[in-house]
A and B are shown apart, each in its own frame.
Chain A
Amino acid sequence: MAPHIVSAFESDLQELRARLSEMGGLAEEQLSESLDAVRRRDLPLARRVITKDLELDQREIALEELAVRTLALRQPLAQDLRETIAALKIASTLERIGDLSKSIAKRVSPMSETDLAAIGGERLNNSILGMGQLAQTQLSDVLDAYGARDTAAAVNVWRRDVEIDELYNSLFRELIDLMTRERGAVSHGAHLMFVAKNLERIGDHATFIAEMTYYVVIGQPLSDDRPKGDPLFPLPEVDSLTDRETV
């Protein structure tokens, strides 16, 4: 596309793109470090992730200011308008991904390896980390797709979210099983459940960025017939759990 007649407008749009891609990089880093902290049960690293979330929040505010200023001063239209709106929405999505990563970091369990092994938690940890890897790939692929304005790549990410959903559903079942069997595993299991849920949400946010990519390029929303994972099997009745405990 030809550059704008008004060069300041052009540089505003470029600045928006640059800031968004910086935010994307930071969100990826936060997710990857929070997963490292889970894998290594590394509390200091978890704390660093939690503190660093503030930076993503501040960057979102700064990007929002720039986008609002661009809307007010330049009154962008057509693709420029779509891009400015998408930048606003993606920035807040990245900020949410940062929050979810922080929330994952807060779940890092200080449990010793022997205790973990006793409840069979190591295997579950690995399943969670597999899911985490998938979420990381989704996020990194969708950010690349947005940067390249590649709708085919964006749609691929959008379709692949079903894999995360399915992993989440099977993990959920396993965790319920574990916590039903082993009372000692309830605390660790509950933490892992939150981590899994957060990763599943990050996957959803990646699909939203894919939808925004499509919108910016094509000008129309991506229709909402995305494949979703199987619905969860019914939760065990609370009564049956209580019965088991009282027996």
Chain B
Amino acid sequence: MSDQVETTTPVASGGGADPNAAVKMVGKGVNVYYGDAHAIKDVSIDILDKTVTAFIGPSGCGKSTFLRCLNRMNDTIDVARITGTIELDGQNIYDKNIDPVQLRARVGMVFQKPNPFPKSIYDNVAYGPRIHGLVANKADLDVIVESSLRRAAMWDEVKDRLDQPGTGLSGGQQQRLCIARAIATAPEVLLMDEPASALDPIATAKIEELIDELRENYSIVIVTHSMQQAARVSQKTAFFHLGILVEYDDTSKIFTNPTDQRTQDYITGRFG
């Protein structure tokens, strides 16, 4: 047996947030309307850096809508109207001088269904760095593509077929390719909208493992319908219901001893 004593305990997933984690994004009094429908009601939340934050809640509770506010994806919906502020490192992302395209390079997104471009594996990952002009030459781009695929834990699986179409990969691989694509622009925040809901358990486990590794460098916000997944991968959990942020706390607290009866009813499967 080793007689070495571990002096530092890493913050476990599914536990609580690192008390020293810095605040990365701040929502203040955010309201979202789709036409007359009031989808998000006065939500205020601090999202921490180097932390996985899970948004949970029943369908239609507003969790995906709120997630999409964080990189202005709702801008693409004509009837959507947003009030309040959302700050990234202290700057309101809805300011007039913020370019949404640049913003989305800093706040990347991965969707529920893997959606690789109908291009080669290489070009999928290279797409972001190219359009944002992040690289000067092919050699630099090669480095980014390799490191992104490595961080997405799929370099060894695809290094010999980078010129083949990304759409030819399995579902789980496609999703990891989309994660590689999202991290290729070196974002600071990664938004994931049910990233594993279309995947089998093995592919899901790989994505969860990946999320845990990516947490070292990114602030990650994940929307999930799987309570167990939220409990496993996140350190902070926000429970949304009817457009309201009902409870936001350390994941361990939410899943073992939530404060609000609505949270308790939802996570234990008693929502009537």
User: What is the interface of chain A, defined by CB distance below 8 A to chain B?
Assistant: 1-6, 9, 75-82, 219-220
Secondary structure call for the B interface: helix
Chain B, Cβ-Cβ closest to A80 = B268
Q: Evaluate contact between A79 and B264: CB separation under 8 angstroms.
A: yes
Instruction: List the A side residues contacting B227 at CB < 8 Å.
Output: 75, 77
When the two chains form their complex, are residues A6 and B257 in contact, meaning their CB atoms are under 8 A apart?
no
Contact B256 A78 (CB under 8 A): yes
Task: From the candidates A2, A75, A219, name the one contacting B256 in the complex (CB within 8 A).
Answer: A219
- Tell whether B96 is near chain A: CB-to-CB under 8 Å: no
Closest residue of chain B to A3 (Cβ to Cβ) is B270
Question: When A75-B228, A77-B227, A77-B231 are in contact, do A4 and B257 touch as well, CB less than 8 Å?
Answer: no
Query: B239-261 interface mask toward A, CB cutoff 8 Å, 1 = contact, 0 = none?
Result: 00000000000000001111000
| CA–CA, A234 and B256, complex, Å | 45
Known contacts A78-B258, A79-B264, A219-B256: A5-B270 contact under CB 8 Å? yes
Task: Indicate if the CB atoms of A76 and B257 lie closer than 8 Å.
Answer: no
Please state if A78 and B264 are interface contacts (CB–CB under 8 Å).
yes
Given A75-B228, A77-B231, A79-B264, decide whether A5 and B256 contact each other with a Cβ distance below 8 A. Answer: no
Is the Cβ of A77 less than 8 Å from the Cβ of B267?
Answer: yes
Contact yes or no, B255 A78, CB < 8 A: yes
On whether A78 and B267 interact (CB within 8 A), knowing A219-B256, A220-B257, the answer reads yes
Contact present for B257 and A219 (CB under 8 Å): yes
- A4, A82, A220: the one contacting B269 at CB < 8 Å is A4
Is B265 positioned at the interface, with any CB of A under 8 Å from its CB? Answer: yes
Q: Which residues of B contact A76 (CB under 8 A)?
A: 268
Chain B residues, CB < 8 A from A81: 255-256
